[in-house]
Amino acid sequence: MRRRVIFDNKVLPYLLVAPQIAVTLVFFFWPAAQAVYWSVLLQDPFGLRTQFVWLENFTTVLSDPLYLNSVRVTAIFSTAVTLLSMGAGLLFAAMADTRIRGVQVYRTLITWPYAVAPAVAAVLWLFIFHPSIGILGRALLRLGIPWDYKLNGLQALILVILAASWKQVSYNFLFFLAGLQSIPKSVIEAATLEAGPARRFVSIVFPLLSPTTFFLLVVNIVYAFFDTFGVIHALTGGGPAKATETLIYKVFTDGVINVDLGSSSAQSVILLIIVVTLTALQFRYIERKVHY
Amino acid sequence: MAAPARSERWIPHFILAVGIAIFAFPIYFTLIGSTHDAATIGRGDMPLTPGTHLVENFAQAWNLGSGEKVRGTPVRAMLLNSFVMASAITLGKIAISLISAYAVVFFAFPLRMFFFWMIFITLMLPVEVRIIPTYKVVSDLGMINTFSGLTVPLIASATATLLFRQVFMTIPDELVEAAKIDGAGPMRFFWTMVLPLSRTNIAALCVILFIYGWNQYLWPLLITSSREMETIVIGIVKMIGTGDAQTDWQIIMATTIFALIPPVAVILFMQHWFVKGLVETEK
């Protein structure tokens, strides 16, 4: 990555990197180090004495039924959001990749929800599924389904999954469409002689899309884990009875609302390990892509 | 290739139309809601055709941000806050990433790769995994409830730095050589060559980053507590509160429409830049 021709200047390069390095040190590395430091300390209830407790905070967190509940919620939530939004994105991309009229218009009309903030997506779904003002919420009640996501945990989970996926489809759509359009037309035409459209998609197109699919898988898991805080905060607040409390939401509740430093820091460190794993996976994919 | 059979031609249109309807319906419902009065929505049998209170509701949201039951911040104030926050994050990220990528690519200096990796690693430290300690830093610096607290901690950008680094790597050595022979210093080369050569990438990144900034939620929720600092995304959620049936839904819905206009307009009018920016930053 070295250039042959470079400028020589002893001070200027440091001045140029200084702003970014200052921000990363003060607001990224120092706080992350603090989180690791606090995760091995225990404070007494009055915050007067602090002692080093090795991994006690971690064993406490990992054996806490409430934490295990949020692990379960996160697993269901992220799996559902990833499958739903990638599935819908792929379906719409495959349809828009056909030679039909008005593809540009379709593309624009499917792309715009990318602009909607997760919290605003949640609000839009709340308007529709509210048990007393929402058109679909009331329709469900009329059908005899006791719909109230503020009381029923399963319904709350379904609603946050739908709102979070709705917002993410456009992203997957754009990447799948780009992936589909990069498949050489000659390959598709050759396959047309052999098989019908459905079989052609399963045995030729989908395998060729695998780099895009893998990349999107990682991006969607990261989205479901970290970027959906707003959806849950706006719709259910983690409730009812912690039915929608994901790992991120629990760090927020324990740290900001309950001010439990040790536990919240241990949870942060666990999340940190998850992010590092996911990022490493993502970059492995990029390295693989270079060989293609 | 033979023309597709009739059934194959209408299936894509049908599926795409269903998709578009699923995406558009929540907005349509919200827009219709913002033209009715509180009683019509509260009864739960709001018609799917526009009512007669459009101007009144939007004016009330714009000027007061509140109805009879909810107290809110005026939409014009919240929009301004969101706009300032999103612009500051966008410009900040682009400015500091441009200059740090420039330093890493065009200079040889001790610790060069160390700095590059430091910036790169921030990808693995999203705000969610360091909530409390970062809040503490901001509060120790006296930046709670300030625009600098809202924006400065978010302007480090590994993705933008990586992108600009890639762009700068494609600038041919001969160009740098020629500039040096002509006696241009590094800063002059930056302003006259590097910046103009990166302008399409900057434009594309601007679109993505503006939306990123506008849609921030967890960070403003932590850092701002005063009414005057509220962004519009936070403001809507606060107005809903516990979500009782008897609240000023028409004002909340009008506010939601206001919150959607700027980012959706950016995507629609700068579609080309948006797609370019999205695909490039993820490479």
| pLDDT for the residue A47 | 65
For the record, the structure tokens of B112 come out as 């060069």
d(CA B84, CA B177): 40
Q: Which residues from A are below 8 Å from B134, CB to CB? A: 27, 31
The burial class, CB within 10 Å (0-12 / 13-18 / 19+), for B36 is buried
Q: Which residues from B are below 8 Å from A92, CB to CB? A: 15-16, 19
State whether ipTM is beyond 0.90.
Answer: no
Question: Averaged in consecutive runs of 10 residues, what is the pLDDT profile of chain B (283 residues)?
Answer: 56 89 91 86 81 83 76 87 95 95 91 90 83 89 92 90 90 88 88 91 91 93 89 90 77 91 91 80 61
Query: Per the CB < 8 Å rule, is B8 touching A197?
Result: yes
- Please, which residues have CB within 8 angstroms of residue B142's CB and are 6 or more apart in sequence? none
The segment(s) of chain A belonging to CATH 1.10.3720.10 are: 56-291
Q: Which residues from A are below 8 Å from B152, CB to CB? A: 23, 27
d(CA A128, CA B217): 22
Query: Is B244 within 8 Å of A131 (Cβ atoms)?
Result: no
| pLDDT for the residue B257 | 93
The pLDDT profile of chain A, 292 residues, written as one tens digit per residue, is: 567 678 888 889 999 999 999 999 999 999 988 888 888 877 766 666 777 778 888 888 888 899 999 999 999 999 999 999 999 999 999 888 877 777 888 888 888 899 999 999 999 999 899 988 888 988 898 898 888 888 888 999 999 999 999 999 999 999 999 888 888 878 777 777 777 777 778 878 888 888 888 889 988 998 999 889 999 999 988 878 888 999 999 989 888 887 778 888 889 899 888 888 888 887 776 655 433 3
CATH hierarchy code of domain A56-291? 1.10.3720.10
- What is chain A's alpha carbon radius of gyration, rounded to the nearest angstrom? 24
Model confidence over A184-199: pLDDT tens digits?
878 777 777 777 777 7
Name the helix (H) or strand (E) containing A52. strand A50-52
Dihedral over Cα of A152, A154, A159, A161: its sign: positive
For the record, the structure tokens of B67 come out as 């109805």
Which domains, from first to last, does chain B contain?
A: 8-283 (1.10.3720.10)
Query: Per the CB < 8 Å rule, is A115 touching B245?
Result: no
| pLDDT for the residue A117 | 93
d(CA A146, CA A137): 10
Q: What is the pTM of this model?
A: 0.89
- What residue spans of chain A are helical by DSSP H? 12-24, 30-39, 56-62, 65-96, 103-111, 118-129, 135-142, 153-181, 185-194, 197-200, 206-208, 210-222, 229-235, 247-252, 261-291
Query: Per the CB < 8 Å rule, is B240 touching A126?
Result: yes
| pLDDT for the residue A291 | 35
User: Given CB atoms, is B13 within the 8 Å cutoff of chain A?
Assistant: yes
- Please, which residues have CB within 8 angstroms of residue A15's CB and are 6 or more apart in sequence? none
